[in-house]
Structure 1
Amino acid sequence: MDIMNRSEQNDLGKRVSNVLKDGLKSIPNMMSAFRILLIPVIIVLYLRNNRVAAVSLIIVSAITDLFDGFVARKFNMVTDLGKALDPIADKLTLGAIMICLAVWKIEFLIIVVFMVLKETLGFIMHWVIFRNGGGMYGAMWYGKLSTWILYVTSGAVMIFELPGSVIKVMVTLSVISIIYAMSMYTFRCARILGSRKDSKPDSTRED
């Protein structure tokens, strides 16, 4: 069984602590935290059938998502915590929205299932990379594309009275985008792990 010794545990703890200390000072990370705080408000508004207000906050969240990334890159405020917090804010926001929609339209349940599968797999892979000395890796374009497809789908369904056939098409496109992003992230993480293993000296020995 692969068990970390005390030295490895201390090293991992220090790295996590440094990530948190550096990240908490970043304005873009505060914006990501703000997006997370919007989630319960969006849920309450939706459940109270105030869809216009709910969609308005979703739009605010989406715009903030674009803006925090721009600020981070423009003013060199990119941090490891931000690389993790930004996609977490996306996932929590979209997950909450899709669960609300699934209560209304069962078709959205399949989106929730694939989202959970994708994020579970992603968490495991990134944890393995981080544990093996790798850094935090930010979202890629295919992940952001999937995020925006989900934003558009949820917003359109909330605002407009769409025919069932149109909803099914949008749900299908959303699922395809999730599967594509999940596949690309899996290949990317596999390459990162492979390159790290190749760069390490061979520590095997014959007893």
Structure 2
Amino acid sequence: MNLPNKITLARIFLVPVIMFFLLIKMDLGSLSFSDFEITYNQIIAAVIFIIAASTDGLDGYIARKNKIVTNLGKLLDPLADKLLVAAVLISLVEMDKLNALIAIIIISREFAVTGLRQIALLEGSVMAASAWGKWKTAIQITMIIALLLNNFPFALIDFPFDVIASWVAAAITVYSGIDYFVKNKHLIPVE
């Protein structure tokens, strides 16, 4: 197994670790000042999420640079991305930090586009990430980090960045999904 695929698998294996720190009831203490408080569990989960999310582009870059792109990597990479985002979004809904509608919109789009990518692979082509898809990813990751960190540092000035980022992420997610389907409608069987 090559290095990019190992990095992708590591991202998959980090998903339950993040969920453990978010959902298992254990008191590692908390950090608080002024009216702001965050548990160490959330800080640990956020750090692990940031590490996992940062490997998203790394595995693909290494594979392309070293010309070791594999079918396994083409399959696992988007799966790892979707598992990471979906698991954390579901956890945030469970923690009552994210509106369930936003999670449903994002997860639905992720799986729909992944299905379209799989159809493209079966047809012998690869759907490259669009500019909107890259913006969508960046905004989703920013939103998730803000939610994991209880809107820090914006909570200190009582600015609802996490809520705004959530709705912006949902809107760009929808738009980028429509963009993928419109640009790749030739892949969708109409029979």
The TM-score bracket by the shorter chain reads 0.7 to 0.9
After superposition, the Cα gap between the structure-2 partners of 1:73 and 1:115, relative to the gap in structure 1 and judged at 3 Å, is: same
Amino acid at match of 2:179: M
AA matched with 1:190: K
1:113-144 superposed Cα distances (whole Å, 9 cap, x missing partner): 1123213422443344444x333434334223
For residues 157 and 129 of structure 1, the distance between their equivalents in structure 2, rounded to whole angstroms, comes to 34
Distance apart, 1:82 and its partner CA: 1.9
Is 1:186–2:181 an aligned residue pair? Answer: yes
Give the Cα separation in 2 of the matches to 1:126 and 1:143: 13
Note if contact 1:99-1:112 (Cα within 8 Å) is conserved in structure 2: yes
Match of 1:114 among 100, 105, 112: 105
Q: Which TM-score applies when normalising by structure 1?
A: 0.71
**Equivalent residue in structure 1 for 2:90, among 83, 90, 99:** 99
Tell me the CA shift for residue 69 of structure 1. Answer: 2.0
1:57 maps to: 48
Q: Does 1:43 align with 2:34?
A: no
Question: How big is the shift at 1:164?
Answer: 7.5
Other-structure match for 1:13: none
Partner residue of 2:169?
174
Change (3 A) 1:185 1:80: farther
Verify the 8 A CA contact 2:14 2:48 in the aligned structure 1: yes
- Give the CA deviation at 1:181: 1.6
Deviation at 1:191, TM superposition (A): 4.2
Unaligned runs of at least 5 residues, structure 1: 1-24, 195-207
Structure 2 Cα separation of the partners of residues 55 and 69 of structure 1? 23
Structure index of larger Rg: 1
Structure (1/2) with the larger helix percentage:
1
User: Equivalent residue of 1:151, what SS?
Assistant: helix
Q: For residues 165 and 187 of structure 1, what CA distance do their matches in structure 2 show?
A: 33
Task: Give, in whole Å, the separation in 2 of the partners of 1:72 and 1:129.
Answer: 20
Question: Which residues of 2 match residues 1-207 of structure 1 at below 5 A?
Answer: 25-47=1-23, 48=26, 49=39, 50-105=41-96, 107-131=98-122, 133-161=123-151, 162=155, 163=158, 165-191=160-186
* SS state at 2:99 partner: helix
Tell me whether 94-103 or 135-144 shows the greater mean CA deviation.
Answer: 135-144
Contact 1:52 1:159 in 2 (8 A): yes
Percent of residue pairs identical:
27
25-34 or 99-108: which moved more?
A: 99-108
Structure 2, gaps ≥5 residues long: 27-38
CA-CA distance at 1:193 after TM superposition: 5.8
Distance 2:121 2:62 in 1: 25
Q: Give me the whole-angstrom Cα distance separating, in 1, the residues matched to 2:53 and 2:98.
A: 23
Q: Is the 8 A contact 1:83 1:139 kept in 2?
A: no
Rounded to whole Å, the distance in 2 between the matches of 1:139 and 1:54 is 27
Distance 1:77 1:140, change over 3 A: farther
